[in-house]
């Protein structure tokens, strides 16, 4: 297994799928000649040419709709939306066309598109370039939402998303493209549904996804070494559908829950996970679940304010200690 960076994992998935199937194409702003803002499509323009690696005008609604229309005829477009903040402009097409086409055509048409987008707060990018929007996508019938926390997932989720006949939104993170990790040398398909235990534990479950998995893993390390608390970390790589069975299994084992998300709390992943716990295993709980989340503010530019708005592993540790009456 090779150690590669997350952007390289995404690039490899593109390359393999485009070389296998001439109807797999990719499009987005600066993805071709420039190689992609995050290098995720590096070298593809030279290899597959402008008909299949399309540098688009800055028209998110337009090119997203164009990709969806092409997918009606069996084309498998991978659309990169440079920043998830720009996805608002494409949501009409994603939600009204891609997500609903199978249903409103009575199963006659489908939109097997992949929409990839970088979200999350990076470094002082301000209010209009720092959004987390997974909560918006995961509430839409007909759309799958996945979010990788490491290069292996980034590679395998994209491979599966391209093959799947449903539209899939892949929520990436601006700060994670250079993260290194092991990716299988052979072809690998990550499941689009489910969750995975990133670290086994017995005393408390820390639910995370994408970047917050890493806060949870770091917090688990601290809790173990400094406080003798054994935390289980569950990686919710599938946000729609959420893994009800996986959530229930872990909560039934640890009986305590912290959900960590970079998004703001209202109407978010944490709310959904708590609702699922209520429905599936409420009486397994020994304490009320706790959410760790962003402040409900447009992301501030000022470095100190930005840091204050976004949680990290220390907030996860604090939440667990509070749950155990140690803080």
Partner 1 sequence: MKIEDKKRVLREMVLHRRFEERCYQAYIERKIGGFLHLYPGQEACCNGVMEAARPGHDYVITGYRDHVHAIKCGADPKEVMAELYGKETGSSKGRGGSMHIFDAAHHFMGGYALVGGPFPLAAGIAKAIQLKGGDEIAICFLGDAANNQGVFHETLNMAALWKLPVLFVCENNLYGIGTSIERSTAVVHQHKRVAAYNIPADECDGQDIDIVYEHARKAVDHVRAGNGPFFLELMTYRYRGHSMSDSRGYRSREEEEVWKQRDPILMLRDRLITAGAMTMADYETIEKETDAYIENEVIKFAEESPEPRVEDLEKYVLADRESQQPWLTGKAA
In the complex, the residues that contact partner 1 under the rule CB under 8 A are: 22-23, 25, 51-52, 54, 56-57, 59, 61-75, 92-93, 96-97, 101-110, 141-142, 144, 156, 160-161, 163-166, 187-194
Q: How far is the CB of 81 from partner 1 (least distance, A)?
A: 14
Tokens 């969806």 identify what position?
68
Question: Among residues 108 and 304, whose Cβ is nearest to partner 1?
Answer: 108
Q: Which is nearer to partner 1, 27 or 317 (CB)?
A: 27
Angle, alpha carbons 320-325-257 (nearest 5°): 35
Pick the closer one to partner 1 by CB: 21 or 315.
21
Closer by beta carbon to partner 1, 188 or else 227:
188
- Give me the least distance between CB of 17 and partner 1, in Å please: 12
Cα 97 to Cα 101: distance, rounded to the nearest angstrom: 6
**Contacts (Cβ under 8 Å, ≥6 apart) of 14:** 26, 40, 41, 44, 78, 158
Instruction: Tell me the closest approach of the beta carbon of residue 182 to partner 1, in angstroms.
Output: 16
Q: Report the length, in residues, of the chain.
A: 327
> Which of the following is catalytic: 17, 29, 60, 80?
60
CB nearer partner 1, residue 189 or residue 324: 189
CB of 260 to partner 1, least distance (A): 25
Closest by CA to 108, choosing from 165, 57, 160, 64, is: 165
The least distance separating partner 1 from the CB of residue 21, rounded to whole angstroms, comes to 11
8 A C-beta contact, residue 206 and residue 219: yes
User: For the chain, first and last CA: distance in Å?
Assistant: 42
List the beta strands (DSSP E) in the chain. Answer: 2-5, 24-28, 53-55, 76-81, 114-119, 144-146, 168-173, 180-183, 196-199, 204-208, 231-235, 238-240, 257-264, 290-294
CB of 100 to partner 1, least distance (A): 9
In the residue annotation, 306 being an active-site residue is answered as no
Cα gap 251→245, rounded to integer Å:
10
Which residues does 122 contact at the CB level (< 8 Å), separation at least 6? 129, 130, 174, 175
Comparing CB distances to partner 1, the nearer of 9 and 75 is 75
Q: Is 221 a catalytic residue?
A: no
d(CA 253, CA 231): 11
Cα separation, 38 vs 36, whole angstroms? 5
Catalytic residue among 8, 17, 80, 129: 129
Return the active site residues: 60, 129
């Amino acid at each position: 297994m090779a150690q590669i960076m997350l952007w390289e994992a995404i690039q490899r998935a593109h390359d393999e799928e485009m070389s296998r199937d001439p109807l797999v194409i990719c499009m987005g702003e600066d993805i071709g000649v420039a190689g992609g803002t995050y290098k995720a499509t590096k070298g593809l323009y030279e290899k597959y040419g402008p008909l299949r690696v399309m540098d688009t005008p800055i028209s998110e609604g337009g090119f997203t709709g164009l990709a969806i229309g092409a997918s009606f005829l069996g084309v498998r477009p991978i659309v990169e939306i440079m920043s998830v903040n720009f996805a608002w402009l494409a949501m009409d097409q994603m939600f009204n066309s891609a997500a609903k086409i199978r249903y409103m055509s009575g199963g006659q048409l489908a939109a097997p598109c992949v929409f990839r987008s970088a979200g999350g707060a990076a470094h002082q990018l301000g209010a209009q370039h720092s959004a987390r929007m997974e909560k918006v996508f995961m509430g839409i019938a007909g759309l799958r939402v996945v979010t990788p926390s490491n290069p292996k997932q980034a590679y395998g989720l994209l491979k599966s998303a391209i093959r799947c006949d449903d539209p899939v939104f892949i929520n990436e993170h601006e700060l994670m493209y250079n993260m290194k990790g092991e990716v299988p040398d052979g072809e690998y398909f990550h499941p689009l549904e489910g969750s995975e235990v990133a670290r086994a534990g017995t005393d408390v479950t820390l639910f995370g996804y994408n970047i917050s998995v890493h806060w949870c893993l770091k917090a688990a390390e601290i809790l173990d070494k400094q406080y003798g608390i054994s935390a289980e970390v569950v990686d919710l790589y599938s946000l729609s559908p959420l893994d009800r069975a996986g959530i229930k299994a872990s909560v039934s084992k640890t009986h305590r829950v912290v959900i960590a998300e970079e998004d703001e709390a209202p109407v978010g992943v944490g709310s959904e996970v708590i609702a699922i716990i209520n429905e599936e295993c409420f009486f397994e709980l020994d304490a009320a679940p706790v959410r760790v989340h962003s402040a409900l503010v447009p992301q501030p530019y000022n470095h100190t304010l930005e840091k204050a708005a976004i949680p990290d592993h220390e907030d996860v540790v604090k939440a667990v200690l509070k749950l155990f009456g140690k803080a």
